[in-house]
Homo-oligomer: A and B are copies of this chain.
Amino acid sequence: MVQKFLMQPLFDQVAIVGLGLIGGSLGMALRKGRVARRVIGFARHETTIRKAKARGAIDDGDTELCPNWLGESELVVIATPPLTVVPIARQIVKLTRHRFILTDVASTKGEITQALGSFLPERITYVGSHPMAGSERSGIGAANLDLFRGAPCVVTPVARTSRTAVRRVFALWRSVGGRCVEISPAHHDTLVAQISHLPHLAAVGLTLVAQEEAMGLSAGGFSDTTRIALGDPALWREICWTNRRAITAAMDRLLKELRQLRGLIASGNSDTLTKQFRTAQKKRQRLKR
């Protein structure tokens, strides 16, 4: 079985556009696991290509999207920030003529899926992905082989998406250790607003409120709670913009909860306050499993 696997990689050639934390880690995992026969990478800067080669993330690469390499790829992964996915896909359409599967790794899926649906030709099957494996670190230097191990990898097809293509994208993330979940693009955006985008905004808010003197006294609690405020501001701006509807809805719910907690504290309504704390504690304990 292992031998057969070694002889028949899951994919022939895979092209990765964007060799940051996610694209770089994916290339490393695909090559190390012999999941793809060949991995081609594209990045804006020559130094990134060099580093990606040195780290074993790609077999070869270029700073320009290259028709030959794209043309030989049965899977193209766009691993760039949300707002660049659609323009890059437009370029890829122009530079190719063959049939292939296109996926991306952006943290928001609704707007991208809708935009791509409006211009992708029938020969290109788009299946959105979102491996929940980011970190506050970024760049090829932070890439690592095990980034996707155990990570929830959301796959977001729409009703008309070919099931064969969906299965291929599931296989991609499983092959690098991910735990695949299929969710619609809009529902994905609602859920990640709650567990990723909203926590980032809360961390930013908490960091802005804390005086420097207070931060000097802080222990593990503050440090853990605000860690994601370290994330790349430009990337988070794009996430917020492309998921503004779900994020503002989630923020309204958070603001309501916080105003309520504030009211309970100010009025000394200790029983209800304790009840809220207990509800949150129990809910959070279930996450520990």
Q: Which residues of A contact B (CB under 8 A)?
A: 132-135, 151-152, 154, 181, 190-192, 194-196, 198-234, 236-237, 240-241, 244, 247-248, 250-255, 257-259, 261-262, 265-266, 268, 270, 273-274, 276-281, 283-288
Contacts and interface: CB of A to CB of B under 8 A. Distances in A.
A276 B208 contact: yes
B244 A265 contact: yes
A144 to B, nearest CB: 14
Contact of A205 (B230, B234, B254, B273): B254
Contacts of A200: 221
B270 A259 contact: no
Main secondary structure of the interface of A (DSSP, over half): helix
Copies of this chain, complex-wide, total 2
Contact of A192 (B217, B225, B274): B217
Given A211-B194, A225-B227, A273-B240, A206 B199 contact: yes
Contact of A222 (B181, B199, B241): B199
B287 A265 contact: no
A277 B204 contact: yes
A250 B132 CA distance: 32
20 contacts: A154-B217, A190-B214, A195-B221, A198-B210, A199-B221, A202-B225, A204-B257, A204-B276, A218-B287, A222-B287, A224-B227, A229-B281, A233-B281, A234-B274, A241-B268, A247-B265, A248-B262, A255-B258, A255-B259, A258-B258
Contacts of A265: 240-241, 244, 247-248, 251
Given A255-B255, A273-B240, A206 B198 contact: yes
Nearest to A244: B265
Given A215-B283, A229-B281, A254-B258, 16 more contacts: A195-B215, A196-B219, A198-B210, A205-B261, A207-B284, A209-B253, A209-B257, A215-B286, A215-B287, A226-B287, A229-B277, A230-B288, A233-B274, A233-B278, A233-B281, A237-B277
A202 B205 contact: yes
Listed residue (A208, A216, A229) with the most chain B CB atoms within 10 angstroms of its CB: A208
A195 B217 CA distance: 8
Contacts of A224: 224-225, 227-228
Contacts of A261: 201, 204-205, 251
Nearest to A233: B277
Nearest to A131: B219
Given A135-B220, A254-B209, A199 B225 contact: yes
A180 to B, nearest CB: 11
Contacts of A228: 221, 224-225
A196 to B, nearest CB: 6
Contact of A196 (B133, B208, B221, B266): B221
